[in-house]
Amino acid sequence: MNVTVKSTARARKKAAPGVPDTLRATGKDAQPELVQLLTPEGERVEHPDYPLTTTPEELRALYRDLVLVRRFDGEATALQRQGELGLWASLLGQEAAQVGSGRAMRPGDYAFPTYREHGVAWCRDVDPLNLLGMFRGVNHGGWDPNEKNFHLYTIVIGAQTLHATGYAMGITKDGADDAVIAYFGDGASSQGDVNEAFTFASVYNAPVVFFCQNNQWAISEPTTTQTKIPLYRRASGFGFPGVRVDGNDVLACLAVTRWALDHARNGNGPVLIEAFTYRMGAHTTSDDPTRYRHTEETEAWKAKDPISRLRAHLEKEGLADEEFFAAVDAESEQLGLRVREGVRGMPDPDPTLIFDHVYSEPHTLVDEERAEYVEYAASFEAGETH
């Protein structure tokens, strides 16, 4: 069965010429064109260009990933509301895009995230507490990027795509058999950094996969204000292939990303993947999405939930029973408890740590500034007035 889902003739007739697929996809009878291996109802289908063979164990493992990542994310949102975190960027609704692409990577591949790739971090064995430490303000990331092959979160929109491209160019010069994946959102696609990264990656044939999570909203701006064509088609203008995948289908995301990484590592240059998904929650905990989008839109996307569709598939095929689902739920609650207690128990960092990694080697000026700060801080303990 060919499962590149296409808009119906009726929907195309109703749409005005030049209307992007992203807009047509919101119509009552329309669907965007995308690669799909698992329907919203949990039916497994095949695609001739992106075959995927999975064992029951692998499917259950993917389901576990999705549930635990969502549970962690929900706990982080609750902790922010309780004043334990300064801010949180939820991935609710985007679990399949992140877990599918994250599990497609080999150990030697390197990921460059934005600030929302908690699911990819999970796949790279980054402790969730290290993610929360940054949002609590007690560290600048907490994990060793070179140990996890997962770069620190990037707050500056789109900057990580240039970092990823440069790293990928270095891989080529080293002759390594690895690839790079750079994550960004639909809003970031309008940034100059992203388009410059496309240019460098294409010209230097860099082994990098650009993974755009099109969650339909760049804070309060819809994708239709970012582009007049589907985002994945932009790749052709830079000379490399682009693919749109169902971002709520963990199997399709796994298959397409695995293909793209192999394409890149085999010397064929970059690939752009547009994961067509939806941000079910707010942009961050400082945002109120009810001010700019309708409840009907959110409700329509709930029917495409990535966890529900994989669970439906497991149940229909008899690949998991209630004991399995109950065990995953219990594990998710234990994760939530560990995260909650861990965050509240995080010690305040030593203020002098800000001087430790300004330069890679000791520096006289930094040493002097550290000494001045230590003396200044000690004066408060001595009861001096300032």
pLDDT band at 9 (very low <50, low <70, confident <90, very high): very low
pLDDT score, position 1? 42
Active-site option among 292, 344, 359, 376:
292
Looking at residue 111, the DSSP 8-state letter turns out to be E
pTM above 0.85, yes or no: yes
Let me know if 70 is a catalytic residue.
no
User: What Å distances lie between residue 41 and 35, 306, 311, 312, 323, CA to CA?
Assistant: 16, 10, 10, 7, 22
pLDDT band at 236 (very low <50, low <70, confident <90, very high): very high
Over residues 328-345, the mean pLDDT reads: 97
pLDDT in tens, 258-317: 999 999 999 999 999 999 999 999 999 999 999 999 999 999 999 999 999 999 999 999
Over residues 39-46, the mean pLDDT reads: 97
Cα distance between residue 118 and residue 129, in whole Å = 11
pLDDT tops 80 at residue 122:
yes
pLDDT tops 90 at residue 19:
no
Active-site option among 118, 279, 309, 311:
279
pLDDT band at 31 (very low <50, low <70, confident <90, very high): low
pLDDT in tens, 140-160: 888 999 999 999 999 999 999
Pick from 1, 5, 2: nearest CA to 245 = 5
Q: Angle CA(108)–CA(89)–CA(350) in degrees, nearest 5?
A: 80
pLDDT score, position 140? 83
Coil/strand/helix, residue 305: coil
Let me know if 283 is a catalytic residue.
yes
Let me know if 292 is a catalytic residue.
yes
Active-site option among 244, 283, 309, 313:
283
Q: Other C-beta atoms within 10 Å of 29: how many?
A: 11
Would you put residue 288 in left (φ > 0), alpha (ψ -120 to 50) or beta?
beta
* 270: its two tokens: 């970059």
- Which residues does 59 contact at the CB level (< 8 Å), separation at least 6? 310, 313, 314, 319, 320
Q: What is the DSSP string of 195-237?
A: HHHHHHHHHTT--EEEEEEE-SEETTEEGGGT-SS-GGGHHHH
pLDDT band at 172 (very low <50, low <70, confident <90, very high): very high
CATH superfamily of 38-345: Thiamin diphosphate (ThDP)-binding fold, Pyr/PP domains (3.40.50.970)
